[in-house]
Structure 1
Amino acid sequence: MLDSLEKMLAKGVDNSLLRFGLGKGYLDLGEFARAAEHFQRCVELDPKYSAAWKLLGKAHQGQGDLPAARQAWEQGLEAARAHGDKQAEKEMTVFLKKLDRHP
């Protein structure tokens, strides 16, 4: 699946959904830096995409960059609240609380 998404990107297709798919694929493979790159582009294209903010934080966390993870989740909380995305809001609140307990 990643190959076909990468081919679409190479052909000039670039949108938040494509970037989310690429980010999720790389995150699932444990390729946190590549995942973060795609999620970052996703939220640049669509700053209201709360699920992308959530996974961007996970990608940063996977790289050990906890300040960047915190920043992504805080921005994601704003996006989730603005859209009434209660599930994403709950999850990111939990992630931030865990960071506070384990700085």
Structure 2
Amino acid sequence: MHESLEKMLAKGVDNPLLRFGLGKAWLDEGHGAEAAVHLARCVEQDPKYSAAWKLLGKAHQLAGDPTAARSAWQQGIAAAQAHGDKQAEKEMTVFLKKLKPL
């Protein structure tokens, strides 16, 4: 799936929705590092995109970087709280609690 989205990106289309789609596609295929690149760009473009923060944390976790995962979820919780996204806030809070302590 990510191939068609990568073609759009190569043609100069770059927006949070495209980056979210690319990140999710890579994550669904089990490629955390590749997913993290696109999801990080997504939240740079739209810092209030709480769903992207949630997946960015998952991507970092999959890539073996719990510190980056923790940071993404903490930022995502703040974004979700600022925009009243209670479901994303709850999910990321659970993910943080399940993450191994520092």
TM-score class normalised by the smaller sequence: over 0.9
How big is the shift at 1:3? Answer: 1.6
1:46, CA displacement in angstroms? 0.2
How far apart, CA to CA, are the structure 1 residues paired with 2:14 and 2:90? 29
Counterparts of 1:74 and 1:55, CA distance in 2:
12
- Give the AA of the match of 1:23: G
Report how far residue 33 of structure 1 moved: 0.5
TM-score (norm 2): 0.96
Q: Give the match for residue 52 of structure 1.
A: 52
Residues 1-103 of structure 1 mapped to structure 2, 5 A cutoff: 1-99=1-99, 102-103=100-101
- For structure 2, the residue ranges without an aligned partner over 5 or more in a row are none
What's the CA shift for 1:63? 1.1
| CA displacement 1:31-89 (0-9 Å, x = unmatched) | 11100000000000000000000000000000110010000000000100011001000
Q: Tell me how many residue pairs correspond in the alignment.
A: 101
- Offset of 1:14 from its aligned partner? 0.1
- By how many angstroms is 1:4 displaced? 1.3
**Structure 1 stretches of at least 4 aligned residues deviating more than 3 Å after TM superposition:** none
Gaps of 5+ in 1: none
Q: TM-score, structure 1 length as denominator?
A: 0.95
Secondary structure of residue in 1 paired with 2:55:
helix
RMSD between aligned residues: 0.7
